Amino acid sequence: MQTRTIGPFTVSAIGLGCMNLSHAYGVPPSPEQAERLLLAALDAGVTLFDTAALYGFGANEELVGRVLKAHRSRITLASKGGMAGVRGEDGVVRRVIDGRPEALRRNCEDSLRRLGTDVIDLYYLHRWHKEVPVEDSVGALSDLVRAGKVRTIGLSEVSAATIRKAHAVHPITAVQTEYSLWTRNPEIAVLEACRAIGAAFVAFSPLARAYLTDTLHDVATLDAKDIRRPMPRFAPQNYAANLQLLQPYVAFAREVGCTPAQLALAWLLHKAPHIVPIPGTTNLAHLQEDLDAAKVQLTPAQMAQAEALIGQHNVVGPRYAPQATGEVDTENFA
């Protein structure tokens, strides 16, 4: 496996996003299947594993901690706080964004316990809580670094201006945001901001939530609780239009000599050396397919053709519904 750098860590060029082993895309796999997937990734050379307090309301951290605890020295472990499940008076657990220092300290302690580790290598502010100055939230995370509970700090779904404010308080090691052929927002300013401060850019949903794998052809088949259902690009009419873009892209991947998923991941790896994609999967064959993307070589002309086939100029629908759009700080195209 090729490697890339995230702060002081040398990690596999392609990491593993662990969210869908517990959360988000319908019924998660069985614990046994999830364990096989995690161990297969480890055996294949993956060393960056990404989880969060939010995923499965703690269940994903418990899974990752239980399965990988014996291999802790071999991996770079990333998790996130500032957005977690909170049980209300009615007994229902709901997602809450809370970037107050006391909440972040509590989130971190809970994550350490669930992960079964003394320290988290890369701890992200999952969302900037806009009622709390980002300097205050990052200051609390820097306290966790000084306490030896966190090694480095990251941010998720923030703008270049917020990155600079945060970095002035404590060095930012990584910024995580959605980035793929069909979501180019980081190209507005965040990729350059990361490069300027020496931070890695960790690309989540690099396969466009399965769109770029050419395996999701009918959104009506999505589980009722699948998080893609309220996303505008997956609305039936919009998705039908987006599917029209996919077949020329699939044909182009065939010309390149790889699968559509591998083309999408190889495109990210070729965009800049500080980009680390973290695709997620529950399928062992898809895992190996994703990791083999690191072997795909693209010419500048092939990069340009991929970008012309699918991009901001022709994808139909914004990536988030209005509420979710209001919760993030990333720059948007006009």
Structure token pair of residue 321: 């519904």
Rounded to an integer, what distance in angstroms lies between the CA atom of residue 149 and that of residue 160?
A: 27
Is the separation of the CB atoms in 12 and 1 below 8 Å?
yes
Is the separation of the CB atoms in 147 and 109 below 8 Å?
no
Rounded to an integer, what distance in angstroms lies between the CA atom of residue 136 and that of residue 200?
A: 22
Q: Which residues pair with 174 in a beta bridge?
A: 154, 200
- Of 52, 122, 119, give the one whose Cα is nearest residue 84: 52
CA 89 to chain centre: 31
Place of tokens 């959605």: 178
Element (H, E) at 86: strand 83-87
Pick the catalytic residue: 25, 55, 124, 239? 55
Task: Count the neighbouring beta carbons within 10 Å of the beta carbon of residue 55.
Answer: 27
| Residues in contact with 67: Cβ distance below 8 Å, sequence separation at least 6, in sequence order | 34, 35, 38, 39
At position 120, the amino acid (one-letter code) is I
Residues written for the chain = 334
Rounded to an integer, what distance in angstroms lies between the CA atom of residue 106 and that of residue 276?
A: 28
Q: Is 55 a catalytic residue?
A: yes
Is the separation of the CB atoms in 209 and 26 below 8 Å?
no
Active site positions, annotated: 55
